[in-house]
Amino acid sequence: MPHADSLILTLVGGFVLAFVFGMLAHRLKLSPLVGYLVAGVLVGPHTAGFVADTELAPQLAEIGVILLMFGVGLHFSPADLMKVRKVAVPGAIFQILAATALGWGLGRLLGMGDLEAALMGFTLSVASTVVLLRALEERKQVKGEVGGIAVGWLIVEDLVIVIALVLLPLLIVQPGETLSGPELAKSIGWTLGKVAVFVGAMLVIGPRVLPWVLVKIAHTRSRELFTLGVLAIALGIAWVAYAMFHSFALGAFLAGLVLNSSPLGHNAAERSLPLRDAFAVLFFVSVGMLFDPMILVEKPLTVLGILGIVILGKALAALVITFAFKLDRATSLTIAASLAQIGEFSFILAALGVSLGALTPQTHDLILAAALLSISLNPFVFKLTDRLGGRPKSGSPGAKALAVETAAEAKKPNPATA
């Protein structure tokens, strides 16, 4: 039975510990995501001391998922994807297939069924947008060729995941249920039909209605109303999508995509950013709450095997595609290092798998362990690839782009000293 103050205790415990351990991770040159996940482990039921509300935290995390997907849509650029489509599209699909196959093979060796093993591999195939962008920003490579290909690669992965989040509940038959081939085909066809109608309505009506609504709100000259309007659009459309086909993710993504094409899309992104960041932190904290750290002691070799798929398997798959398209060594190695980790979408897929009964809690813990370790090790993977030639040579297009971006960053005012 939840306490009357469980909401405030969960928020205080989550935010305070996330801040403390996020700062500690930053000081250790690690991604703050590691700190957020550790904070979740500490307030979770698997460790001693204060335990946050395990029923309330997932609901707060769901808001985090909606705002994360809304942010992905706001930053989705079809034009940028088209520029790098020849590499990014086949690269992302090949890497997803390779990681899924490797995960399935390892899962079968561990005694899992075909469905659980394949789903585990699928969750390992998706890199974290947050980790990748942060790594490229630190290297001043977001706007160069490397950044374009890596971001385009992630866009394709994100689109695959959005589709998977809609279809997975249909493909997984619950215990005691029977579903024939024709029934499954009919169910998938009906859902895809609803998705097509919803997407079509959003892409046709949305660009005419939503920007008009934002303009009307902007005329009030109220920052609060504009922020509330953006959040109402994101959460409202996400709820409609959930009511139609049980997917918050698709609705939030499309809401962001439509607003991205509007004149006030940039303002919408800025207004929603603080709340997106806050609830994203709660999302990672809630994921950490589900993690049982004893899996690292009980099954260290299994964790290492899964980590090997994430770091080595995915990196090699990326290198195969980039070398096949004759990209230079520096670009290929940097893209491979960027994708050698997993994060938020893996957590969303794993949680969905557990809720559907397709993944056991132990497999979920293995995936979270691999995520924690791969995010922590990602800076060292970059250092290794730099030694192997991952840094662009002076005079190359990559080096020139890096110099331009570094100079642009140097001209920006420092908010800490402003």
Higher pLDDT, 69 or 156: 156
**pLDDT tens digits, 98-151:** 999 999 999 999 999 999 999 999 999 998 877 887 788 777 777 777 888 888
| Residue extents of the structural domains in the chain | 79-173+180-265+298-407
Whether the CB-CB separation of 53 and 40 falls below 8 Å is answered with: no
Residue 313: what pLDDT? 95
d(CA 160, CA 92): 9
Residue 23: what pLDDT? 94
**Does residue 20 have a pLDDT over 90?**
yes
Residue 405: what pLDDT? 44
First to last CA, the chain: 49
Q: Give the residue among 268, 258, 269, 247 at the shortest CA–CA distance from 348.
A: 247
Over range 53-70, report the average pLDDT: 77
Residue 179: what pLDDT? 53
- The three-state secondary structure class of 175 is coil
Residue 118: what pLDDT? 94
What's the Cα-to-Cα distance from 132 to each of 53, 283, 342, rounded to whole Å?
31, 18, 10
Over range 58-84, report the average pLDDT: 77
pTM: 0.78
**pLDDT tens digits, 312-335:** 999 999 999 999 998 988 889 999
With the CA atoms of 127, 303, 100 and 129 taken in that order, what torsion angle do they form, in degrees rounded to the nearest 10? -10
Average pLDDT, the chain: 81
Over range 386-415, report the average pLDDT: 52
**Does residue 174 have a pLDDT over 60?**
no
Whether the CB-CB separation of 47 and 41 falls below 8 Å is answered with: yes
Least confident of 102-116, 171-185, 194-208, 238-252: 171-185
Whether the CB-CB separation of 147 and 141 falls below 8 Å is answered with: yes
**pLDDT tens digits, 358-379:** 899 999 999 989 988 898 888 8
Work out the pLDDT band at 401, boundaries 50, 70, 90.
Answer: very low
Residue 367: what pLDDT? 93
Work out the pLDDT band at 258, boundaries 50, 70, 90.
Answer: confident
Q: Which CATH architecture has domain 79-173+180-265+298-407?
A: Up-down Bundle (1.20)
Q: Give 382's contacts (C-beta < 8 A, 6+ positions apart).
A: 135, 139, 334, 337, 390
Least confident of 25-29, 314-318, 361-365, 403-407: 403-407
Residue 3: what pLDDT? 57
